[in-house]
Structure 1
Amino acid sequence: MKICIFGAGAIGGYLGAKLARAGADVSLVARGPHLAAMRDRGLTLIEDGERLAVPVSVSDDPAALGPQDYVIVTLKAHSVPPAVNAMQPLIGENTTIVSGVNGVPWWYFHKIGGPLEGTRLESVDPGNRQWDGFGPDRVLGCVVYPAAEVVEPGTVRHIEGNRFSLGEPDGSKSDRALTLSKALSGAGLKAPVRPKLRDEIWVKLWGNLSFNPISALTHATLDVLCTDPGTRSVARNMMLEAQAIAEKLGVTFPIDVERRIDGGAAVGPHRTSMLQDLDAGRPMEIDALVRSVQELGRITDTPTPTIDTVLALIALRGRTAGLYG
């Protein structure tokens, strides 16, 4: 079984190192200094206080790797559509595309059933590049929970978490989902196959939708923005608007808004990914995390006044920083 991880940054590097250490036939697509460092000395994983150098197969040329059984995409959401053409040499007749990307996935309405079946989302798949370039029947959903960071080229530090929830768009426990789950489990990761992966997508999205833009606008860490009365109220309103959308789409939330916000506060003085991107001068994931929910509000005829306001502010902040649009 051949597995390729396309986008071997923090999460992709962590996943690749775990699979390679377990003996899987895994390759990584990377670029720049990170690629050069991994070619020279392998991929170094720092986990539980242990520093381990793992030999990995790495390239910046997908054509050199050839068709794969699984291509696990761990790029930032806005980086995927421009990469679809470059990924084509990895895709054979039976290749599965595993979408490990934050936010609302481009395949969300594939095999969902009902009147919205097959609806395309311009905010996350402009011009239908992924829908047409990958094909929705290839996709296997994935909700990524671990936190990791690239501390220097070729070195990834694992922070917390080891769960990669998998799910078919139609909710079935397919052979391809179970096979990948077994491979990930063999690498010491948790990889449950969920019949209702969209429910998990929304619980994670609740936090990403609200905490990320609020933190980027205020430069507050999670513990502060989740306990300050003003920003907590803004986050709550955004989450309630998102919940109204999701429930119209058949989603069930296992916890309530207050508990979700309390969970964010419990993480402590964490700087969200959007705040980190802003500070580092990297493009910001505004469309996948926020604009996509606004688009779903329009599709389901659900008002989103707070989301609209925060989106307008963070989009302008991103544009003025040259990191969005």
Structure 2
Amino acid sequence: MKICIYGAGAIGGYLGVQFARAGADVSLVARGAHLAAMRAHGLKLLIGDEERVVRPRCTDNPAELGHQDFVIICLKAHSITGVIETMQPLLGPHTRIVTAVNGIPYWYFYRHGGRYEGSTLESIDPGGRQWRELGPQRAIGCIVYPATEIEAPGVIRHVYGDRFPIGEPSGEISPDVQRLSALFTAAGLQAPVLERIHDEIWLKLWGNVCLNPISALTHATLDVICSDPATRALSKAIMLETQTIAEKFGVRFRVDAERRIEGARKVGAHKTSMLQDLERGRPMEIDPLVSVVQEMGRLTETPTPALDTVLALVVQRAEIAGLRGVSPPAQINSPAKLPANSPAFA
């Protein structure tokens, strides 16, 4: 079984080390100083006081790797469209694409049923390119709960967590998701197979949609945002708007907003990924975490006044910092047809 981790940054590097230690045939796609350091010294993972060093195959040219059984995308969601062409050599007739990214994935409406079956969302998949060229039929959903960071080129520090719930868009328990879950388990990670992966996507997004932009605007850590009465109330208002939207798409939340906020508070003095990107001068992950919820609110005719206000402010903050990519106007595309030669995964 051949596995390629496309985007071997903090999370991708963590997976790469764990998979390699488990004896998997894993390749890493990376770039720049991080790639150079991995080639020269191997990839190091720090977990507490323990150092784990592996020397997996690393490249910035996916064409060297050939067809894979699984391609695990660990890029920021807004970066995926830009690498569609270079990803193509990895995709054989039966390759599965595992979207280990934050926010709503490009395949969300594949085998979803209902009015929007087969549709694409402009805020996360401009022009529907990911849908057409990667193919929703290849997709396996994956939610990333661990926190990791690149401490130095070639060095990943694990902060907390080891859960990566996975699932087919259709909810079936396929042989592919069972194989993937077994791979994660062999690597010492938790990857339960979920029949309702959409619910878990929204549960993770529920915190991201409010806590990430508020943190970028205030520079506050999770414990501060969730303890201060004003920002806690604002977070809850956005979460309730988000819940109303999600439930119109059939999503079920297994906890309430207060419990979700309290869970974030207990994480402590943690900086969200959006705040880290702002501080490090990297493009901010606004569209997959916030704009997409506004877009889906428009689709369902759900008012989102709290979300709209915070989104307007964080977009302006990103533009002033020069960290805002150009995004087309939010709109939904009509159901897309799969290419005639697309592999089908029942």
Q: TM-score range by the shorter chain?
A: over 0.9
Alignment of 1:167-186 (within 5 A): 167-186=167-186
Partner of 2:157: 157
**For 1:44, what is the secondary structure of its paired residue?**
strand
For the pair 1:119 / 2:119, whether they are aligned, the reply is yes
Letter in 2 for 1:246: A
Could you list the runs of 5+ residues in structure 1 that have no partner in the other structure?
A: none
Alignment of 1:1-325 (within 5 A): 1-325=1-325
**For 1:148, what is the secondary structure of its paired residue?**
strand
The answer to whether the 8 Å contact 2:17/2:52 transfers is: no
Partner Cα separation in structure 2 for residue 300 and residue 30 of structure 1:
39
Give the drift of 1:48. Answer: 3.2
Partner Cα separation in structure 1 for residue 291 and residue 193 of structure 2:
28
Partner Cα separation in structure 2 for residue 216 and residue 40 of structure 1:
35
Give the drift of 1:311. Answer: 0.5
Give the drift of 1:49. Answer: 1.7
Post-superposition Cα deviations, 1:172-213, rounded to whole Å, max 9, x if no partner, equal 000100001111100101011100011111111011000000
Letter in 1 for 2:72: I
**For 1:144, what is the secondary structure of its paired residue?**
coil
Could you list the runs of 5+ residues in structure 2 that have no partner in the other structure?
A: 326-346
**For 1:124, what is the secondary structure of its paired residue?**
coil
Letter in 2 for 1:210: C
**Structure 1 consecutive aligned stretches of length 4 or more whose deviation exceeds 3 Å:** none
Partner Cα separation in structure 2 for residue 122 and residue 56 of structure 1:
36
Letter in 1 for 2:9: G
Partner Cα separation in structure 2 for residue 66 and residue 41 of structure 1:
24
TM-score (norm 2): 0.93
Partner Cα separation in structure 1 for residue 14 and residue 305 of structure 2:
38
The answer to whether the 8 Å contact 2:43/2:154 transfers is: yes
Q: Which moved more, 1:40-49 or 1:80-89?
A: 40-49
Post-superposition Cα deviations, 1:66-112, rounded to whole Å, max 9, x if no partner, equal 11000000000111011111100100111000011101111111101
Give the drift of 1:116. Answer: 1.3
Post-superposition Cα deviations, 1:135-188, rounded to whole Å, max 9, x if no partner, equal 110001100111101100001011111111110000000010000111110010
The answer to whether the 8 Å contact 2:4/2:68 transfers is: yes
**For 2:80, what is the secondary structure of its paired residue?**
helix
Superposed CA RMSD in Å reads 0.7
TM-score (norm 1): 0.99
How many residues matched?
325
Give the drift of 1:53. Answer: 1.3
The answer to whether the 8 Å contact 2:46/2:155 transfers is: yes
Partner Cα separation in structure 1 for residue 245 and residue 260 of structure 2:
17
**For 1:72, what is the secondary structure of its paired residue?**
strand
Partner Cα separation in structure 2 for residue 123 and residue 49 of structure 1:
41
